[in-house]
Amino acid sequence: MANTAGIIQRIRSEIGDFESPFLDTYLGADELASYDLSETGVTEVTAKVATAEPPATVVLVPEVDYVLDPTEGRIVLINPTYSPLHHGQTLLVRGVAQGMFTDADLERYIGDAVEQHAYGRNATTRYRDAHGFIRYDHAPITLENLPAVEEPLVAYLAAINCLWTLATDAASDIDISTAEGTFVPRTQRYRQLMQHIGDASTGLQGRYNTLAQQLNVGLGRIEMFTARRVSRTTNRLVPVFVEREYDDTSKPRRLLPPIDGQEYDDESGLPSPAYPGLWG
């Protein structure tokens, strides 16, 4: 069974967005109570205040001694004992920066990737109920019942969506050229991201498509449909039901395939004669 934490690690490996630990030290001067950390997008922060005379170290309590802005990477001391940080006191902040994307961001990308990758697919389980009858359970494929062989594909698709976000951010960059002859090709970042994303046969997108075609999964998989017949007497579509195994005793399940050709609708507003049971 696939798990979100494992897929997040795969995504971070694909896009090179690893977590990085940090340790910041700030000396008190009876002036500041707010400090900018060396990293943004921080998590798992531990803050301590150390004093030299007498030697002691106090672990600060979140929302009581300090508040943290994890996105901007800023810590604000709110306890009057340490706000502002006094002479002889040292603030130690240890934590982990999540990189360009937080775990919450990657979870949203994973949710989108699973919806796209498993669209229209069900996992069928055959079992015997309490009365001895054979039953079939048709559950939509989610991250919980996703086959293990398809876990890397979901990670690839989520990584592609992450790279598209970075490419959108880089699309607004322009090259810089000065009169002194300095040239900074800022658009090169966008071109490299697009090359890494690739198309249907190259880059990370081509890698996903190749494996998806081999397993016949994803939005581009080969599907088999049942042609719908129209009754010659009523001019109405004949109902279509899901095919079942010979020992499946459950009730028939109706299919409602989409009907095309809406562009041929009669917009004149003129009523047409209808004879129930014959046509119309």
- Asked which of 30, 62, 97 is the last residue of a domain, the reply is 97
Q: What is the pLDDT of residue 58?
A: 92
Q: What is the pLDDT of residue 175?
A: 87
Residues 128 and 146 in one domain: yes
- Asked which of 168, 187, 215 is the last residue of a domain, the reply is 215
Q: What is the pLDDT of residue 47?
A: 94
Q: What is the pLDDT of residue 65?
A: 92
| b/e code 161-171 from CB counts within 10 Å (16+ = b) | bbbeebbeebe
Residue 261 has pLDDT above 70, yes or no: no
Residues 174 and 121 in one domain: yes
Is residue 160 within 8 Å of residue 152, measured between CB atoms? no
Residue 42 has pLDDT above 50, yes or no: yes
Residues 90 and 113 in one domain: no
| Percentage, residues of the chain above pLDDT 70 | 95
| Burial classification of residue 253, based on how many CB atoms lie within 10 Å of its CB (0-12 exposed, 13-18 middle, 19 or more buried) | exposed
Q: What is the pLDDT of residue 277?
A: 46
Residues 56 and 154 in one domain: no
Residues 204 and 185 in one domain: yes
In terms of pLDDT, which residue wins out, 23 or 224? 23
pLDDT tens, residue by residue, 199-220:
988 999 999 999 999 999 999 9
Q: What is the pLDDT of residue 132?
A: 86
Residues 52 and 67 in one domain: yes
Residue 280 has pLDDT above 50, yes or no: no
In terms of pLDDT, which residue wins out, 224 or 190? 190
Range of the domain at 25: 19-97
Q: DSSP letter at 132? A: S
Residues 180 and 163 in one domain: yes
What does the mean pLDDT of the chain come to? 88
Q: What is the pLDDT of residue 274?
A: 60
In a domain, 126, yes or no: yes
Q: What is the pLDDT of residue 265?
A: 72
pLDDT tens, residue by residue, 131-175:
888 888 888 999 999 999 999 999 999 999 999 999 999 998 888
Q: How much is the pTM?
A: 0.73
Q: What is the dihedral of CA 213, 216, 220, 222, to 10 degrees?
A: 120
pLDDT tens, residue by residue, 233-242:
888 889 989 8
pLDDT tens, residue by residue, 81-122:
888 998 889 999 999 998 888 888 999 999 999 999 999 898
- Asked which of 177, 197, 215 is the last residue of a domain, the reply is 215
Residues 110 and 91 in one domain: no
Residues 25 and 111 in one domain: no
Residues 147 and 209 in one domain: yes
Alpha helices in the chain (DSSP H): 4-15, 103-117, 151-170, 188-197, 203-215
**Range among 38-52, 142-156, 248-262 with highest mean pLDDT value:** 142-156
